[in-house]
Amino acid sequence: MINKVKTLSRSECQEMMTSWIDSKGDILPFVDSDYTVIREDIGKIYQDASDSWDISYGRHDYFVDVIFGLKLYNYLNSQSWFSLRVASNTDFWRYLSVAVVPHIVSNRWGLDNEDHYWKRPMRIWLRSLWWYVHFSWCNSIKETKTLLLKPMFSTDTILNIVERSGKNGTNIELYRDILQTYSNFSMDVISKYKARGLKETDLFRAIMKLNTAKIIVTEPNLCMDGVHGYVSLLCDDLNIRL
Amino acid sequence: MSQTIPLFPTFNEDAKSDVFKLEEYVFTYKRDDEIIELIQESDDTGLRTEAALSDETGYWNPDEYPLCVNRKIRIIKAAHLFSTGEPSPDALYAIACHDATIGLALKWYSAESNQCGAIPIGTITNTTRNTEFTINYNFDKASIRGEIFFKIILYIYRSGKPNDYERHFANTPGTVLGEIDTFAVRIDGNGSFFPIYEIDKPGEPLWDVKCTWTDAASDPFSDCVSIFINKAHKNYKYLNREDARNFNTQLFSEIMSSAICVIVETLRSEENSLSSLENAQEGSVAQAVSYFREKLDWNIKSSQLTSRSVRLFFEEKFKKL
C-alpha cells in the first residue's frame, strides 16, 4: 500500500535519464517493492495491448496507444492512492516514465526521446494517454474504446487534444463534447473540408483553433444549451451542419 | 487575454460600487457533519487578491476533504448595467440592451490542476435591486491542486430585442461581458518562488544556477529554474541559514541577485521572449519575470539596469533581517 505518491523533479529526471541512456536501456532504475509491483502490472497491460493488435486493424501505433491508454486509465483509477490531483502532477508522470517503466516508453518512443519521458510535460507519453482517455471519456471503458477507435481519430488527435490543452486548465466537459460531436461526422464531411483548399485543411485542428479564439469571449457552460450549444456554434462558424 | 480588444461594451470597474456589494470569499470543508472554515493567509496588504489556505484544526487536506467555495454577492441596483433604450449620457456603464437578462457566474481555472469551469450564480434584469446571491460550490474530493483562480464574471443569460440604439451591445447568450474581481487561492505547494537546492559536490563552485526551460511561456518557473548551493564548498557556512554565527546576508543577497540576473539574461537571449511576457501561463518562467517587472517594479530593459534593480530589491529585503 503506497502512502506517498512518488515524484521526480526535472533535474532529478535529467540525472536518471543519463544513466538510463548510458546503460543502453539494460539497467532499470531501482524502485521499492510497491513500485516493483506497479512496474510488473504496467508491463503486463502493455503486453496485452500490444498482443491485441491485428494487421486488419491498421494503424498500429494509434491502436496500441488507445488500448494501452484505456487499460492504464482503468488500472491507475482503481488504485486507492491515485486521484485527479495525482494525474495533474507532472512530476508523478515523470517518476512513472523515468524510474518505473522507462523500458516501455523506450519501446514506443525510443531510448533517448526525452520529450516523451519527462522533458515536455504535455508530451510525456503516459501522461498524454491518461488525459486523452479522460478528455474523451463516455461512461464506460467500452464506449470510450468504441469512440476512440473510430476512423477519424489518430495520433494527431492525441496531439491536438492533449498537447494544446488550455494554458489555464481545460474545460473537460467541453473537450468531451467536441470529441463526441466530431465522431459523429461522416468521413465524407471531414475529407470535403480538406478539399476546400483553406489554410487549415484539417477539420479537427480548425475546430480546436476556432475554440481557442472563441473561448476568450464566450463561456461554453453558459451558452444556450450549455457546452453542446457552444460546440454547435463552433460548427456553424465552420459551415458544418450537425 | 489582456491583449483582446472587446468589440462591444464591457463591464467598467467604476460601476462596481454602484451595482454590487461583494463580501469576501469564505473557504470551508465538512468533517463529521460540521462545517469548518479554512484560514486564509495572505502577503497582500490592503486589497487582498490571493491567499494560501490552511486548517487550524490540522485535519483538512485536499486529498481527503472536498473544498467548498462560499461568497455572498448583493445587487444594489442592476439598472446601471442596462441600456435605457434611448441614447443617454448617463448610461455610461450599460453593457446590455434594456430587455436582456445578465447572468453572474463564478469562473474558476487552475493550470496546476489542468481544469477549469464556470458555475452560474444568478441572473439580473434592469429592475433587479436589493437582491442577494450566494455561492456555495463544492469541488470533488482530491480533484484540484496548487493554485486556483476565481473570477466573478457577467455574461448574457438571455438575449434582448435591441432597438436601433442598442445594436452595439453583446446579445448572444454565453457572451462574457467582463469580470468583477479575481481571487487566487493556493491549497498546496508553498508557492515558494525561489527554488533553492543544496547539493554536495566537492571541487565545484559555491553556487550554480540552471535554466532548463524549453518554452518560457508555459514551462513552470519552479520546475525549470534551480539555484544550487554547494555544501561541500569551504565557504558554505556563510550561506547556511542554520549557522546563525556565520550566515552572511550580503553574500546570500549577492548570489540571489546574480542568479536572477542570469535567468533574466537567458530569457533576453531568446528571441522575442521579453516582449511577450504578459501572455504567459500562470507560474511559468516568463510570468515570473513579468511579475518582477510589474509587481516588484524592476527595470529589466538592459542587463545593467536589471542588475541594479535586483540588487536594490534584495538590499531592501535583507535590511529587515
**B2-23 pLDDT, tens per residue?**
456 778 999 999 999 999 999 9
CB pairs under 8 A between A and B: 108
Contacts within 8 Å (CB) and 24+ apart, A142-150: A144/A70, A145/A66, A145/A67, A145/A70, A147/A179, A147/A180, A147/A183, A148/A66, A148/A70, A149/A63, A149/A66, A150/A183
**Whole-number pLDDT of residue B199:** 81
Interatomic CA distance for residues B205 and A4, integer angstroms: 34
pLDDT band per the 50, 70, 90 thresholds, residue B45:
low
Distances from the Cα of B87 to the Cαs of B13, B156, B310, in angstroms?
A: 21, 21, 52
Q: Which helix (H) or strand (E) holds A98?
A: none
Q: Are B239 and B251 within 8 A, CB to CB? A: yes
Interatomic CA distance for residues B151 and B132, integer angstroms: 18
* Summary mean pLDDT of chain B: 89
Distances from the Cα of A186 to the Cαs of A102, A135, A206, A209, B212, in angstroms?
A: 39, 21, 16, 21, 44
Residue B276 has pLDDT above 90, yes or no: no
* Comparison of pLDDT for A39 and A238, the residue scoring more: A39
A141-148 and A60-77 are packed helices; what angle lies between their axes, rounded to 10 degrees?
160
B195, three cell numbers: 527554488
State the smallest CA–CA distance between residue B239 and chain A in angstroms. 22
Which residue is it, cell 517493492?
A33
DSSP B65: S
Q: Are B220 and B283 within 8 A, CB to CB? A: yes
Rounded mean pLDDT, A186-200 = 77
DSSP A182: H
Cβ pair A88:B145 closer than 8 A: yes
Query: Which residue of B5, B95, B114 to mutate against A (max A Cβ within 10 Å)?
Result: B114
**Whole-number pLDDT of residue B44:** 64
State the smallest CA–CA distance between residue B158 and chain A in angstroms. 8
> Which ipTM was obtained for this model?
0.92
Residue B321 has pLDDT above 60, yes or no: no
Cβ pair B107:A219 closer than 8 A: yes
**Whole-number pLDDT of residue A22:** 95
**Whole-number pLDDT of residue B2:** 43
Q: What is the pLDDT of residues B18-40, one digit of tens each?
A: 999 999 999 999 999 999 999 99
Cβ pair A171:B110 closer than 8 A: no
Query: For B148, what's the count of Cα atoms within 13 Å in the CB-facing half-sphere?
Result: 24
A61-65, A200-204, B42-46, B50-54 — which one is most confidently predicted on average?
A61-65
**Whole-number pLDDT of residue B277:** 78
Distances from the Cα of B298 to the Cαs of B103, B303, B309, in angstroms?
A: 40, 12, 5
CA A176 from centre of chain: 13
Beta bridge partners of B123: B103
Q: Taking the model in full, what pTM does it have?
A: 0.82
Rounded mean pLDDT, B95-102 = 96
pLDDT band per the 50, 70, 90 thresholds, residue A191:
confident
Q: Which helix (H) or strand (E) holds A128?
A: helix A125-136
Query: For B181, what's the count of Cα atoms within 13 Å in the CB-facing half-sphere?
Result: 18
Which residue is it, cell 457572451?
B175
Q: What is the pLDDT of residues B109-145, one digit of tens each?
A: 998 899 999 999 999 999 999 999 999 999 999 999 9
Rounded mean pLDDT, A6-29 = 91
Residue B1 has pLDDT above 50, yes or no: no
* Comparison of pLDDT for A172 and B219, the residue scoring more: A172
Q: Are B159 and B172 within 8 A, CB to CB? A: yes
Cβ pair B173:A223 closer than 8 A: yes
Interatomic CA distance for residues A99 and A195, integer angstroms: 46
Residue B282 has pLDDT above 80, yes or no: no
Of A125-129, A218-222, B193-197, B266-270, the range with the lowest mean pLDDT is: B193-197
Q: Are B224 and B213 within 8 A, CB to CB? A: yes
A172 at interface of B, judged by CB pairs closer than 8 A = yes
**Whole-number pLDDT of residue B290:** 87
By residue count, chain B amounts to: 321
Which residues of chain A make contact with B105, given a CB cutoff of 8 A?
219, 221-222
**Whole-number pLDDT of residue B258:** 94
Phi, psi of B117 (to 5 degrees): -170, 175
Interatomic CA distance for residues A131 and B89, integer angstroms: 52
Of B109-118, B188-197, B301-310, the range with the lowest mean pLDDT is: B188-197
**Whole-number pLDDT of residue B214:** 85
Contacts within 8 Å (CB) and 24+ apart, B116-123: B116/A166, B116/A168, B116/A169, B116/A170, B116/A171, B117/A171, B117/A173, B117/A221, B118/A219, B118/A220, B118/A221, B118/A222, B118/B153, B119/A221, B120/A221, B120/A222, B120/B157, B121/B73, B121/B152, B122/B73, B123/B157, B123/B158
Interatomic CA distance for residues B217 and B209, integer angstroms: 19
* Beta strands at B147-158 and B129-138: parallel, antiparallel or unpaired: unpaired
**Whole-number pLDDT of residue B121:** 97
* Beta strands at B196-199 and B225-230: parallel, antiparallel or unpaired: parallel
Beta bridge partners of B121: none
Q: Are B104 and B73 within 8 A, CB to CB? A: yes
- Three-class SS state of B153: strand
Rounded mean pLDDT, B191-208 = 80
Query: Which residue of A17, A162, A168 to mutate against B (max B Cβ within 10 Å)?
Result: A168
Q: Which helix (H) or strand (E) holds B185?
A: strand B176-186
B83, three cell numbers: 441600456
**Whole-number pLDDT of residue B4:** 62
Search chain B and give the residue with CA nearest A14. Answer: B212
A161-165, B152-156, B217-221, B248-252 — which one is most confidently predicted on average?
B152-156
